[in-house]
Chain A
Amino acid sequence: MPISAQALLTRRTPAAATVFAALGDPTRLALVTKLCDGSRQSIAQLTDGLSLTRQAISKHLGVLEDARMVSSQRTGRESLYVLNPVPIGEIRSYIDLVSSQWDNALTRLKGFVEE
């Protein structure tokens, strides 16, 4: 069944909110930064240089996975994590949407006070 444009627009807001929440933490930002070169990295590699335990990093990666910011693939005994660039594009779309609504509101305000 095709999804209507309206439904897509409606869904964009909560999706963007999840991404904002996922990025609202310095450790998760650091993890995203490490992965933004497109590399696949294990939890051990991602923990390197961060003053947190493997368990804590694993938890943060879980939040990023829930927000679809990263995805993981199991190879042998370990999981490799890779960045998904789509949600960052959704942030842009979301702010663009809010921005265009302000353009409309300010145009109405201008008409209102200049009457």
Chain B
Amino acid sequence: MSDRIEKQIELNATVSRVWRALTDHREFGEWFRVKLDAPFQPGLEAHGHITYPGYENVIWRAVVQKMESERLFSFSWHPYGIDPDVDYSTETPTLVEFRLEPRGERTLLILTESGFDKIPAARRTEAFRMNDGGWTTQTENIRQHVEASHAD
């Protein structure tokens, strides 16, 4: 579990609506808090200024990977690379995937972020098993958090 982040959230909106919120660069920018200059296009880097207060000078960058209509949207990036003094280009990017599944008029959104630099292999070692308890707890926290959001 610790090699990747996975989150599921059920949204009270149709798949089409969620797809637009994810892949229309203006809509994405609204909730993600970034002002993107151009539409998302697979293979191209999207970039723009972060609109989160205090971080307006920071440029957000991601390379769009896949856009499979109303099913899968993915990009690679350096997660929350917001320190202007750090050269993130030397780090291996992670892959962010948004998967959509219709649930009647609602949508199940599954977010995964993977590729924290080959941590999956590391997980097989004893060194990482030492931390397993902590991760199980953390995963449970996330599940409870997401389920609490559903109940709203």
Instruction: Give me the interface of A with B, judged by CB distance under 8 Å.
Output: 10, 13-14, 17, 20-21, 23-26, 29, 32-33, 36-37, 83, 85, 88-89, 91-92, 95-99, 101-103, 105-114
A21/B131 contact (C-beta < 8 A), A102-B5, A109-B21 known: no
A97 touches B130 (CB 8 A): no
A98/B113 contact (C-beta < 8 A), A23-B122, A24-B118, A107-B149 known: yes
Nearest-neighbor residue (CB-CB) of A24 within chain B: B118
State how many angstroms separate the Cβ of A64 from the closest Cβ of chain B: 11
Interfacial chain B residues near A111, Cβ < 8 Å = 31
Nearest-neighbor residue (CB-CB) of B83 within chain A: A10
Question: Is B136 part of the contact surface with A, judged by Cβ < 8 Å?
Answer: no
Residues of B100-140 at the interface with A, using a CB-CB cut-off of 8 Å, are 109, 111, 113, 116-119, 121-122, 125-128, 130-131, 134-135, 138
B121 touches A26 (CB 8 A): yes
Interfacial chain B residues near A98, Cβ < 8 Å = 5, 79-80, 113
Instruction: Give me the interface of B with A, judged by CB distance under 8 Å.
Output: 2, 5, 7, 9, 11-13, 17-18, 21-22, 27, 30-33, 79-81, 83, 85-86, 90-92, 109, 111, 113, 116-119, 121-122, 125-128, 130-131, 134-135, 138, 142, 145, 149
Interfacial chain A residues near B33, Cβ < 8 Å = 108
B92 touches A24 (CB 8 A): yes
The CA of A13 and the CA of B86, in the complex, are separated in Å by 9
B149 touches A36 (CB 8 A): no
Among B80, B126, B128, B131, contact of A101 (Cβ-Cβ < 8 Å): B80
The CA of A24 and the CA of B135, in the complex, are separated in Å by 20
17 A-B contact pairs sorted by A residue (CB < 8 Å): A17-B90, A21-B91, A29-B121, A29-B122, A33-B125, A37-B126, A88-B127, A88-B131, A95-B116, A98-B79, A101-B80, A105-B32, A108-B32, A111-B31, A112-B27, A113-B21, A114-B11
Nearest-neighbor residue (CB-CB) of A111 within chain B: B31
Among B18, B86, B145, contact of A14 (Cβ-Cβ < 8 Å): B86
The CA of A36 and the CA of B123, in the complex, are separated in Å by 13
State how many angstroms separate the Cβ of A102 from the closest Cβ of chain B: 6
A102/B111 contact (C-beta < 8 A), A14-B86, A110-B9, A113-B13 known: yes
